[in-house]
Amino acid sequence: MLLKQIPINASAPVAQPSVEFDADLLGRLSRSGPRYTSYPTADRFSGEYGYRDYLHAVAGLRTRGGAKPLSLYLHIPFCDTVCYYCACNKIVTKNREKAATYLGYLKREIEMQSLLFAGMNEVEQLHLGGGTPTYLSDAQMEDLMAHLHRTFRFAQDETGEYSIEIDPRTVTPERVARLRRQGFNRISLGVQDFDPQVQQAVNRVQPELETRAIIDAARAANFRSVSIDLIYGLPRQTPETMAQTMEKVIEASPDRIALYHYAHMPHLFKPQRRILDAELPSSQDKLAMLSLCIERLGAAGYVYIGMDHFARPTDDLAVAQQQGRLHRNFQGYSTHADCDLVACGVSAIGAVGSTYSQNAKTLEEYYDILDRNELPVARGARLTMDDVLRRTLIQKLMCQFEVSIRALEQAFPIVFADYFAPELERLAQLERDGLVTIGADWLSVTMKGRLLIRNVCMVFDRYLAGGASARHSKTV
């Protein structure tokens, strides 16, 4: 079925082409695979990469000159309660002293990073994720933001993108207004589902009226963008309950919507063991939910950005995609492509130059390394020319659904047909399935292939020769 996308008004940018939903094809081709927030993906990082490698990467930026703007990511791992579906790196505790201790170390790491980037440390993008960033008190957040502004230079509010993830249960409308005054201009709300039975099954009871009050408060506080996170495939969900949730979401009219597929992997994530397998929807029902959501969002005027993201045609994400400026990083889709990503906090992942780095994953190790006056880099990767080439190609496919073969050949010392001869053989089957078209000048993903974009990108992932990792979710 071809799902039309309707512009909101005559002055809005022309909506992106629609998505073709083929349930049989999606059911047949869905498989485990990476989400490609990076390439190589984080499961390929090595412990051989450490603090000194990171220092070398930053020094390389200085040597080359022409420093790019920075994107900052801060990981706040704490939560009040556990949501059974969650696969994030989190610490569930009601002991607020743990957050106070953590903030002391986090501020120390921020200062160390700012000294490394002195003279080239203008920030155009900031994202606080978790966990639950609003686990921090208002005073703690005020102190953290003041520290950031003392140590880094920030672009003006009208040009910078400064976002925070919130759990609506942890804030009041007054707190939302204070977050705006503290410098945030984009806000993302975890909703997952409005159905009370589904909320109970995943231990996240969140009344609709409370969530709507927070959305209204964000509007009143002049946040530039309000985003909602949803999940399909949760226990007790049905196409009927999802239709009701989607109706409420559309009525709330967020600027962006992330619609994630629930990946049930209780062997990896202990909280998921509390979810009853018998209450999970069937594969057929999950596809029906996905189809319904795409159809309803398209009819409401949302543009399909890619993967699991939708946006208003006037939203910066949609505009960036139309202009070829869309980027994908560890926080998902982004409008700031030309940034080095500096990550602070336990388990946080950064990308500087042609390297990736990830911090220690436990608080104990994170604190121990900082106590040695070193950045808590525990592992990472140095990219080869082949990695950079494949990263560029995968980025283009993930963000624009097409890649110019000639542009790649001009940017890298390759002949595309020769260098990717094995990949082109594998792509031929996807072309027969109607997912891609392969020409002399362009490799393009069809409307039918867009929902299976991860499958297309996996063809070019040379690290998948031994198969996908057990940590990877299904592509649909």
Residue 268 and residue 187 in one domain: yes
354 assigned to some structural domain: no
**What digits encode the pLDDT tens for the residues 311-369?**
999 999 999 998 988 988 887 888 877 789 999 999 999 999 999 999 999 999 999 99
- Average pLDDT over all residues of the chain: 92
| pLDDT score at 121 | 84
Residue 446 and residue 313 in one domain: no
Residue 311 and residue 454 in one domain: no
Instruction: Say what the alpha-carbon torsion angle 394, 396, 397, 403 is, to the nearest 10 degrees.
Output: -110
- Report the number of distinct structural domains present in the chain: 2
39 assigned to some structural domain: yes
Residue 329 and residue 390 in one domain: no
Q: Could you tell me which residues come within 8 angstroms of residue 341 by beta carbon, excluding any fewer than 6 positions away?
A: 70, 71, 72, 73, 329, 330, 349, 350, 351, 352
Look up the pTM and report it.
0.91
Helix axes 283-299, 239-252, angle to 10 degrees: 30
What residues make up the domain containing 458? 385-463
- Torsion angles phi and psi, residue 380, rounded to 5: 175, -160
Residue 332 and residue 417 in one domain: no
List, as residue ranges, the binding site for [4Fe-4S] cluster.
79, 83, 86
Measured between alpha carbons, how far is 111 from 261 in angstroms, rounded to an integer?
A: 37
Residue 52 and residue 143 in one domain: yes
Radius of gyration, alpha carbons of the chain: 22
Taking 60 as the threshold, does the pLDDT of residue 122 lie above it? yes
Taking 70 as the threshold, does the pLDDT of residue 430 lie above it? yes
Residue 288 and residue 144 in one domain: yes
Which CATH number characterizes residue 420's domain? Answer: 1.10.10.920
Residue 111 and residue 175 in one domain: yes
Which CATH number characterizes residue 289's domain? Answer: 3.80.30.20
Residue 308 and residue 401 in one domain: no
Measure Cα distances from 287 to 28, 158, 162, 202, 282 in Å.
Answer: 12, 40, 34, 20, 9
Residue 294 and residue 408 in one domain: no
Burial zone of 78 (CB within 10 Å; 0-12 exposed, 13-18 middle, 19+ buried): buried
Say if residues 128 and 165 touch (Cβ distance below 8 Å).
Answer: yes
Say if residues 313 and 20 touch (Cβ distance below 8 Å).
Answer: no
Say if residues 214 and 173 touch (Cβ distance below 8 Å).
Answer: yes
13 assigned to some structural domain: no
Residue 311 and residue 391 in one domain: no
| pLDDT score at 470 | 57
List, as residue ranges, the binding site for S-adenosyl-L-methionine.
73, 85-87, 130-132, 165, 192, 204, 229, 263, 349
Say if residues 95 and 79 touch (Cβ distance below 8 Å).
Answer: no
10 assigned to some structural domain: no
- The closest of 116, 118, 185, 127 to 156, measured between CA atoms, is 185
206 assigned to some structural domain: yes
List, as residue ranges, the binding site.
73, 79, 83, 85-87, 130-132, 165, 192, 204, 229, 263, 349
Q: How confident is the model at residue 471 (pLDDT cuts 50, 70, 90)?
A: low
